[in-house]
Amino acid sequence: MPKIVVIGSYVVDLMSRAPHLPKPGETVLGGPFKMGPGGKGGNQATAAVRCGSNVTFVTRLGDDVFGREALEHFRRERVNTQYIKHDKDEATGAALISVDQQSENSIVVALGACGKISEGDVLEAEAEIKEADIVLLQLETSIEAVVASVRLSAKHGVPVILNPAPFQKFSKEILKDVSYITPNETEAHELTGVEVIDEHSALIAAKKLYELGVKNVIITLGKQGAFLYTGGEKGKLIPGFTVDAIDTTGAGDAFNGGFAHAVASGKSITDAMIFGNCVAALSVTKIGTAPAMPIKTEIDEFLKHNGVLI
């Protein structure tokens, strides 16, 4: 069973649907309201464990009802919770999510406790990181934790996937120790200054990231799929799957969790991207983030139905 360490955020998702996303100063009547586990780290950990990986999650929760519910969620999912800390000073993070009739979303995240993950928290998990097949990171936490995670993984020769989301500034020096980077169009723009709107612009942005030291650049393009660049003159678009989307929140996390599982399982990068696209496609057919992540039998059936052998 592949072993993945996810270091990053947990926030409780507070979501409601609405006829349209509110304009500044506008109040929109919506509903229904749903609450559930979320956060990029939590979503990706849930996706990876449901795919079939052995997952350890490093994060911080508040000492409150949301934190206790989070811990129960991860225990039910059989995630290793040994390195989940309870912060006495900070509340569990929360995400305020609005979803419109076209399944587009608008999100405000208050990181709370998971924004305080420290270098010390990461170092405590060194034994798990040393034995991992993949370490999976996001930017929805302290940059201190991200840098420490990259350096510790490099020390032990463990590949790192960095999902630079949501974007915040960090030292690009660490990218030489990142094996895979997985920005979406917006994050690729923030990282490179290139507005990514199609394959051509994705290639230009990917080359810039490659020059910074990341040898496997993957730019996710929503329902179009994901663009891969590993050097040379050309890249390759790995098409997405066509589904009836209900809620696109968490699709990027689904891709990253699925991709991490497939890479940790020894799949080629192309096959891992196809697998990630499948997990993402299935996730948007349900409401929510972590609860919407598909299980292995759903993924296998979907791939078989679409004539895909991985």
Q: What is the mean pLDDT of residues 13-36?
A: 91
**Where are the strands (E) in the chain, listed by range?**
3-7, 11-17, 33-38, 54-62, 84-87, 93-99, 105-110, 134-138, 160-163, 180-181, 216-220, 225-229, 236-239
- Which residue in the block uniquely carries the two structure tokens 């660049």? 229
**What band does 222 get if pLDDT is binned at 50, 70 and 90?**
confident
Helix (H, G, I), strand (E, B) or coil at 113: helix
From the list 163, 155, 127, 151, the residue with the least C-alpha distance to 280 is 163
Separation of alpha carbons 100 and 245, rounded Å: 12
253 tagged catalytic: yes
The region, left, alpha or beta by phi > 0 then psi within -120 to 50, assigned to residue 231 is left
CATH for 3-20+29-305 is 3.40.1190.20
Residue ranges of the binding site for substrate: 11-13, 39-43, 140, 253
First and final CA of the chain: distance in angstroms?
17
SS3 sequence, 163-214? ECCCCCCCCHHHHHHCCEECCEHHHHHHHHCCCCCCHHHHHHHHHHHHHCCC
Choose, from 64, 100, 253, 271, the residue flagged as catalytic.
253
Residue ranges of the binding site: 11-13, 39-43, 140, 184, 220-225, 247, 249, 252-253, 277, 283, 286, 288
Q: What is the mean pLDDT of residues 271-277?
A: 98
- What pLDDT sits at residue 103? 80
- What pLDDT sits at residue 310? 82
**What band does 201 get if pLDDT is binned at 50, 70 and 90?**
very high
**What band does 107 get if pLDDT is binned at 50, 70 and 90?**
confident
CB proximity list for 41: less than 8 A, separation 6 or greater = 6, 7, 8, 9, 10, 57, 59, 114, 138, 140, 141
Separation of alpha carbons 58 and 302, rounded Å: 31
Residue ranges of the binding site for ATP: 184, 220-225, 252-253, 277
Whether 199 has a pLDDT exceeding 90, the answer reads yes
Q: What is the pTM of this model?
A: 0.93
Separation of alpha carbons 157 and 250, rounded Å: 29
- What pLDDT sits at residue 127? 98
Domain ranges for the chain: 3-20+29-305
What is the average pLDDT value for the chain, to the nearest integer?
95
